[in-house]
Amino acid sequence: MASLAQQFGGLKCPPISTTMNKFSSSKNHCYRVMPRRRSIISAAASPVLADAQTRERMKLKEMFEDAYERCRTTPMEGVAFTIDDFHSAIEKYDFDSEIGTKVKGMVFNTDGNGALVDITAKSSAYLPVREASIHSIRHVEEAGIVPGVREEFVIIGENEADDSLILSLRSIQYDLAWERCRQLQGEDVVVKGKVVGANKGGIVALVEGLRGFVPFSQISTKSTAEELLEKEIPLKFVEVDEEQSRLVLSNRKAMADSQAQLGIGSVVIGTVQSLKPYGAFIDIGGINGLLHVSQISHDRVSDIATVLQPGDTLKVMILSHDRERGRVSLSTKKLEPTPGDMIRNPKLVFEKAEEMAQTFRQRIAQAEAMARADMLRFQSESGLTLSSEGILGPLTSDLPAEGLDLSELPPAED
């Protein structure tokens, strides 16, 4: 055993008997003996460790062989993500990056110049502040663009420096605005427009984010363009042409529409806006009506300024209302209790206005009833009927089916 210890421990030592004697008599010899005992234990355990390592290697080898066999024979067994799932994922995150393509993305960062948007591309896309809204804004947050917001964008360009895409919301909003204007025109509704500019032909107003043109001839008020700046006025659509970028509006038609409930014979309160040789323009709730000089009084008015002055408030009666052209004809003459009262006593005219207007409406109703009675009597006696176009048509088969057009007949001779 002493020789075996020398072989593994590499130490020269006396026989065991000698060693034991020295161990009992000296502590120093004890330290020389201990390495020999550990070496003997290690040498004895080496075969056991080697067997354990061999078994572990064999176990790993069997595992690898089994895994290889499964990959070769049944590669997709137990795998939840299939080939079809892979192709679906590719289609989901693959998109066309051509200019004009619409993509969906999520805003994940904003700065003073715009916003970074994740559109699942190889690099992030950028939304400049000028493309964030159809309206003029100074920061994207004014348009509701904040981190976490998901929107649909349109690709309008590419940044050559880093190959990132440039996006726009403004282009999409423009398309929607034109569509909305066409819809509103079809519905013939009145909208509000903010006056933002003017030129020699009219004013410029913002409607649904688009800049529309309102000719001076289509403005009912006599206010100057400078006076209308930054004010909202009622408007109606005249022309909506996206291809030509033409948006023409009318304030006159809008005001006439707002006064649609005012029929002939209605009494309204107005303010004199301006005087002309032929009459006075009266503002009646935002629409200008003409009080012709012949409709001021039964007595002759040689100088309108002697009766009316700009800024005067008065009551007038509506004689006619052309909604298409946005024109309203007015009268104070029909409100006079006695001829000439508008010149001599206008206060009395305004006090009796509703009463005189009621009398006027009754006379109109009586005249219309008499006209209908005369028409019915004419039809029964002549066997003819008169169309709204002034054409006589037959009640019998003796006349042509299309009737007789009396408008072509020459005037009677004396």
- Render pLDDT for 139-192 as a digit per residue (tens, 0 to 9): 999 989 999 999 999 999 888 777 788 999 999 999 999 999 999 999 988 899
If you search the block for the tokens 């291809």, which residue do you land on?
243
Residue 260 is predicted with a pLDDT of 58
Give Cβ neighbours of residue 90 (< 8 Å, ≥ 6 apart).
Answer: none
Q: Which backbone phi and psi does 156 adopt, to 5 degrees?
A: -120, -5
**pLDDT for residue 286:** 65
Output the pTM of the full model.
0.46
Tens of pLDDT, residue by residue over 319-343, are: 887 766 667 899 999 999 999 999 9
Q: How far apart are CA 135 and CA 85, in angstroms?
A: 43
Is the pLDDT at 194 greater than 70, yes or no? yes
pLDDT at position 8 is 40
Mean pLDDT of 265-284: 88
The highest-confidence range among 208-212, 374-378, 393-397, by mean pLDDT, is 208-212
pLDDT of 33 over the 50 cut: no
Cβ neighbours of 185 (radius 10 Å):
17
Q: Report the C-alpha gap between 116 and 99 in whole angstroms.
A: 18
Which structure tokens are listed for 205?
A: 């107003």
For the chain, give the percent of residues with pLDDT over 90.
Answer: 29
Average model confidence (pLDDT) across the chain: 78
Look at 312 and 8; give whichever has higher pLDDT.
312
pLDDT at 46 over 80: no
Query: What digits encode the pLDDT tens for the residues 235-271?
Result: 999 999 999 999 999 988 887 766 655 677 888 888 8
pLDDT of residue 217: 87
Would you give the end-to-end CA distance of the chain in angstroms?
A: 168
- What's the CA gap between 79 and 50, in Å, rounded? 38
Distance separating alpha carbons of residues 221 and 201, to the nearest angstrom: 15
Count other C-beta atoms under 10 Å from residue 161's C-beta: 6
Q: What is the pLDDT of residue 395?
A: 54
For the chain, percent helix, then strand, then coil, each to nearest 5?
A: 40, 30, 30
pLDDT at 253: 84
Q: Nearest 10 degrees: CA dihedral of 117, 120, 123, 128? A: -20
The model's pLDDT over 50-99, given as tens digits with 9 standing for 90+, comes to 778 888 888 888 888 888 888 778 776 766 667 777 667 656 655 557 88
Collect all residues with Cβ–Cβ distance below 8 Å to 132 and sequence separation of at least 6: 114, 115, 140, 143, 145, 169, 170
Rounded-to-integer distance, Cα 19 and Cα 13, Å: 8
Q: What is the pLDDT of residues 202-222, one digit of tens each?
A: 999 999 999 999 999 888 776
Residues 6+ apart with CB under 8 A from 70: 77
> Is the pLDDT higher at 232 or at 382?
232
Strands (E), 64-149: 102-110, 114-118, 125-128
Which has more confidence, 80 or 299? 299
Rounded-to-integer distance, Cα 173 and Cα 208, Å: 10
Q: Read off the pLDDT band of 279 (50, 70, 90).
A: very high
